[in-house]
Amino acid sequence: MSINGLLNVSAGELCLKNVLQTGQSFRWLLDEATGIYSTTLKISDTLGYSIITLRQDVDFGQVFYEVLNAKVDTETIENHLKNYFRLDVDLQNLHKNHWLANDEKFKMLDHKGIRILGQEPWETLVSFICSTNNNIGRISKMCHALSENFGEYIDEYKGTKYYTFPSSEDIATKATEIQLRGLGFGYRAKYIIETAKKFVEDKKKYGLSDDAQFLNEVVAKKGYLEAREFLMGYCGVGPKVADCVCLMGLHMDEVVPVDVHVGRIAKRDYNIQAPKKFLQELRGQFDHLPITKKKINPELDYIRLKFTEIWGEYAGWAQGLLFFRETDKSDASAAKKRKTTSSPAASKKPKLDTNELVSAISVKAE
């Protein structure tokens, strides 16, 4: 059974293109001919994943959805989508009364319907482990490879087979480091395998079996600093990856993940430079958090603190807007450079497979 519906969204509050293709979520497929996005989402904790498609009316903002093999009712689907897109947050109000009121640089910025997603936290954790020194195209390829090889088959839609995202048990029991390396994960293969195995053991300690439940009910309730410390206990998880999980998977809206792009924005546009004395004091504040003290870069953490001070409780959302602008500029600059350096001879060369193309947007993980 399929369920079709309409998600009423005010114009400007959500732009699918600026949210689903910019480095937050990595398993959405876009049919450019129809403008339809598709993926599998865990709409119900008890009934599992379903195939879902989305199409947006660009003039009015409304989002048309279809859920294939629907195991839930319309109300459950719409509640899930509202939570996924965090529609409880008024983006226009944030821009006008929070960011613009405290940061005059937002006078020149349109929020462009850019929202922070409320994603399934286990998938968020694994996806951002994959993001280490990587780009969006390759991260997406890895996430799809995990689903196709270790997730459960759901159904076929318009010639494409769809799968669940594998649970920690799926990866721990079905996958090996050698297999993942064969699928192109490189050194990240070890990180994912070790994280999945430790995650399974950690859930057992709390008497839990569901990945999302463990992260939402145990880790998130620790508070930000303790949650970051806990997450960095997993193999391959540094401050940037942990912060992305806190922001996009655990609804910690004040968290500002700092990567090379955000670091550049901080120094270039805000002249943020930490005094050496403060950096020493900052490191000393983590004496009770040994993993944090070992892995943290005080200069980057200072940037996180300053941006949180400027932008307030939704600082992570403000960072998302500036990150989009920065990477969009980088993408445009790279495209212009490719165009100006191309030659007639080069244009005659056969095209590379799209799976091999490297995205101009780099998602660095510190």
Please give the torsion angle defined by the CA atoms of residues 59, 62, 67 and 70, in that order, rounded to the nearest 10 degrees.
Answer: -170
Q: At 272, which amino acid appears? A: I
pLDDT at 110: 85
pLDDT at 356: 34
Strands 29-31 and 36-44: antiparallel
Distance CA 175, CA 169 (A): 10
349 catalytically annotated: no
Segment 236-287, tens digit of pLDDT: 999 999 999 999 999 999 999 999 889 999 999 999 998 888 888 888 899 9
Question: Cα Rg for the chain, rounded, in angstroms?
Answer: 21
pLDDT at 362: 37
Residue located via tokens 């879902």 = 52
Residue from 155, 145, 136 nearest 175 by CA: 145
Distance CA 344, CA 366 (A): 40
pLDDT at 283: 82
Q: Which of these is catalytic: 42, 141, 203, 240?
A: 240
Distance CA 96, CA 85 (A): 20
Distance CA 330, CA 288 (A): 39
Tally helices (H) and strands (E) across the chain: 18, 9
Dihedral sign for Cα atoms in the order 143, 254, 259, 18: positive
Residue located via tokens 């244009």 = 347
For residue 67 the two structure tokens come to: 């859920």
pLDDT at 70: 83
DSSP letters for 174-187? H--HHHHHHTT-TT
pLDDT at 336: 52
**b/e code 215-241 from CB counts within 10 Å (16+ = b):** bbebbbeeebeebbbbbbebebbbbbb
pLDDT in tens, the chain (366 residues): 799 999 989 878 999 999 999 999 999 999 999 999 999 999 987 788 999 999 999 788 899 999 998 888 999 999 999 999 999 999 999 999 989 999 999 998 888 899 999 999 999 999 999 999 999 999 999 999 999 999 999 999 999 999 999 999 999 999 999 999 999 999 999 999 999 999 999 999 999 999 999 999 999 999 999 999 999 999 999 999 999 999 999 999 999 999 988 999 999 999 999 888 888 888 889 999 999 999 999 999 999 999 999 999 999 999 999 989 888 765 555 445 545 444 444 334 333 333 333 333 334 444
For residue 186 the two structure tokens come to: 């490189």
Distance CA 235, CA 246 (A): 17
pTM: 0.89
- Which letter does DSSP use for residue 165 in this model? P
pLDDT at 339: 52
Domains of the chain, CATH where assigned: 1-105 (3.30.310.40), 118-251 (1.10.340.30), 252-325 (1.10.1670)
The length of the chain, given as a count of residues: 366
